[in-house]
Every structure is written in structure tokens, then in C-alpha cells.
A and B are shown apart, each in its own frame.
Chain A
């Protein structure tokens, strides 16, 4: 299960809309035991593409350090699908680096943004529940 504060949800939706038609990405920091997200770090998509994303390596280090300074861990990644449903592509599955992470996707394919999250372990994709906590 992935739990997000409302402010984090609003920030990642805003980022996805701001950066469309390019895919956006960022890192989720929180508690690895509970899947509770405390902070979201917007990262640059160094691929600068509408079809693929690569979390900028320097942004990733800054986010990781900043999370650790707050007693948090990076527990997952968010990226946007601008024209397709929020389900991991084969590239997402093949590139998933850590089976303990949460792989969240925000889709802008419909009028309302749609957020889903997945666990990916050895190319097996399992959707998990997403809860957005009220402000």
C-alpha cells in the first residue's frame, strides 16, 4: 500500500501537467515499512522525452541525501504517462531496479489525472492500493 499526503499528490499532479507533453519523474521518500510517503522530490527527466524518462542522477543523489537527513528513505519513483493508462510498460518493468520500491504512475490520458502504484519483483507486476490522505 502507498499512502500520500494530499500536498504530495497535488504536487506530483501539478508537475505532470507542467511538464506535459514530456514525461515527468520524481522520487517518493518515506517509511519503507509502511509505504507512507512524507516527501516528494521532483526530479528532472534527463531523457527529456514524451516516451521515456531517466531520473537525473544528480537530482537523485540530492533527493536521497535530503531524505536521509530527514530520517526517511527513498521508497519509490513516480513518473507520468501523458497519453496512456497508468500501467507499467515493458521498459518500466525491465528497468525496475528495486523490488522493495513503489512504482507510481500518474496518467494524463483522461480528463482527470489518474494515479496508480505497483510493486515490481522479477518482472512480476502487482498493483497496490493508493491512499491520498486528506489535508
Chain B
């Protein structure tokens, strides 16, 4: 029993990365990958990590002052972060973060 418990605790302590699903428009900046991993943290921290690894994404994701671009939709699992805590939303180990371009237009 002791061995199984130890193995269970070791398994539990290994951080599971966050999966980030990238839209087609960002994939060229990540060598064509559609999914990349990152460490758990807040959305803001994860985006900063992403931009650090793939600097070509910076203009798509962040404003000049470092805020999240408003024409990008970011979801943690199935929820839009605008309905959570925006950039401060905590993304747990093993969660999925999805980035999609906001789609808008019209005559105005």
C-alpha cells in the first residue's frame, strides 16, 4: 500500500501543462503548431510566456502597453475570460486555453 500511495503522490505532484490552442493566423509564428504547452498561471502570465517564446505573436496578442488586445478572444476551457477575471483569470494545471481572433465588421 505504501508504494502505491507514494507513486500516487509523485504522480499528483508532477505539474500538467496548460494546452494552448492557437488559431490559424498565429500558427506560422509557432512553427506551424496548432497546440503548444505552457505552465499554469494567470492568463496574463501565460500570454507573456507565449510571447516570450514566440515573439512574432506579440502584436496579435498584446497592445503596446502590454494589455491583451481587445480583438482577440481567449477562453479557459469553455469560458470566455471576459466573463471570468480577464487577464487575471487563473488557469489551472491541465486546463485548456483557446485563442481565437474576434470576428467583427460592418458599416460603422
Given A97-B71, A98-B23, A61-B98 contact (CB < 8 Å): yes
A55 touches B106 (CB 8 A): no
B103 touches A55 (CB 8 A): yes
A97 touches B103 (CB 8 A): yes
Q: Once bound together, how far apart are the Cα atoms of A88 and B105, in whole Å?
A: 9
A95 touches B23 (CB 8 A): no
Of the four ranges (under 10, 10 to 19, 20 to 34, 35 or more), the interface on chain A belongs to: 20 to 34
Q: Once bound together, how far apart are the Cα atoms of A39 and B73, in whole Å?
A: 22
Contacts of A49 in B (CB 8 A): 106, 108
Given A57-B80, A58-B80, A77-B106 contact (CB < 8 Å): no
Contacts of B108 in A (CB 8 A): 49, 51-52, 91
Write the residues of chain A forming the contact surface with B, with a CB cutoff of 8 angstroms: 23, 25, 27, 32, 47, 49, 51-55, 57-58, 60-61, 64, 73, 77, 79, 81, 84, 88-89, 91-92, 95-100
Supply 22 A–B pairs (Cβ within 8 Å), ascending by A. Answer: A25-B103, A52-B104, A52-B107, A54-B103, A55-B104, A57-B75, A57-B100, A58-B80, A60-B100, A61-B78, A61-B80, A61-B100, A89-B106, A91-B104, A92-B105, A95-B103, A95-B104, A96-B105, A97-B25, A97-B102, A98-B23, A98-B24
Given contacts A51-B107, A58-B80, A97-B103, 19 further A-B contacts (CB under 8 A): A47-B104, A51-B108, A52-B104, A52-B108, A54-B102, A54-B103, A55-B102, A57-B80, A77-B103, A81-B107, A84-B107, A91-B107, A97-B25, A97-B71, A98-B23, A98-B24, A98-B25, A99-B25, A100-B24
